[in-house]
Structure 1
Amino acid sequence: MDFVLKNAKTDSKRELSLFKKIGLPLIMGIVNITPDSFYDGGKYLDQEKAVALGIQLAIDGADMLDVGGQSTRPGSESVGPEEQMDRICPVIEKLRAETDIIISVDTTSSRVAGEAISLGAEIVNDISALRFDPEMIGTVVRNKVGLILMHMKGTPKDMQSHPHYSDIVKEISGFLSERVDVAQQAGVNPLMIAIDPGIGFGKTVEGNLQLLKEIGAFKKLHKPVLIGASRKSFIGDLTGADVNDRLPGSLAVACFSALNGVDILRVHDVKETLAALKMITALNRR
């Protein structure tokens, strides 16, 4: 796969390539360094294991890694910046020393983001879309890094408490459009912004399905669209599968998303996702 791998601060090609690849969607491999993430919580609290996971995901074909130190599963409590940094910073530093893969930091804290960027992170994945920390936007602008803006109703602790929308696609599309405007007006490079409708973040099963079916509404915002549905509970609700058995459902969502123009897939299972995407792309080729 053709992908430019040089420092974003010194190479414009890398800057333009953070969210762009011809053919298949970009694959973002998940590295959760948390005790309580819904699927892999506790597995990678050991920093050496987390680094090994990141390297393996890169070998398996990931275009980028999303490294986080705070679970955002429904009902989860917030984790302070110091604890997040203790978890993720040594991992990011070692990953940057051992690989040139693009690293994203999954945080809503400007302190965490700033430290991660200083160690080599090139994207901030902010599930609050810059709403939780007023300093975050300045951190992104000053460091000239990529930005992922996600929709979430409420906070991780309360987001699944009876989420309701009069028109879920219209409301979330409007929200993301407004957050993109805020970011761009503050000075974030328009070519380095991606959007995420937030599958599972304050949505019902039916709402998640509607967002996936109408992904074209988000493509109209002219930003790369990220979908993070890997092993989430709505797949279990629809298939009856435990979290450990949701790979088939996750691959179905990944393939459907790819066929409908999604640009980035955030997944736990990189190797399997890439293989499925290659097959569905070949079958769909005219």
Structure 2
Amino acid sequence: MSHPLQTLVRRILDRTGPLPDEVLAAARRTVANVVATAVGAAGAPAVDAVVAASTAMAPGGAAVVPGRPERLHPLDAALATGLAAHLDDFDDTHLRTVIHPGAVELATLVALQDGPAAGDADEVLTAVAWGVEAQLRLGNAISPEHYDAGWHITGTCGPVGAAVTAGLLRGLDADRLAVAVALAAGGPVGNREGFGSMTKPFHPGRRPSSGCVRCRPPSTTHRGRVTSSPARRDSRPGSSPGCSGPASSSTTSAPGGSCARTPSSPTPAAS
């Protein structure tokens, strides 16, 4: 039996042809919105702290952080970017799930800026659209119980979106992308106790590392492959009954009813 995340990955990779114009337009709008929120908060104390720690512990990076003069290593730049993008809570919100999908997607692109994210614009937007789609489908499947149980749903669904976007840009096949997504789903971060502090925007900033690291191409000297159990592939972030509700078919339903067709709303929801 196929597990929900495997089924979602297969349907993403089986889709042929370009995405509809309205979906690419929604992805473009999402990226534009979140770049603006990231640049707007780039000089905030929380971002200063991340940049200072990163440059002190790992100097010599070359990755750009939007709105900052410093250069960091890619995953550090992703952390600073995702944190800034979500810091003021003005990044677009998907109202049904209260997920802010854009911060994770921008941070993922920043992490890959010197590689696949520097490629064809439509390919990048397509990967972003599918990353958003994965976040929102997973969010639909576990809402509202997951959020009501205290999980920060932007932080818990974000890793899956990061893995999908990074995996598509790196050209992973179905098996490797399914493993990357399963591993990302197994490492959620964040609960709502951190709301109102610097911890909250840290969640989407931290998430691209879960997705991007799990999508690295195999080394020529690597002797094995990282795997994930079928149970993990079937699990949801916070997968115990106390953390999320019953499974929903919205995760694996045919992509024709795309969540990405409906742009997120520009509301400062605390989510």
TM-score (norm 2): 0.31
Indicate the structure whose relative CO is greater, using CA pairs within 8 Å and at least 6 residues apart: 2
Higher helix share: 2
Normalised to the residue count of structure 1, the TM-score between the two structures is 0.29
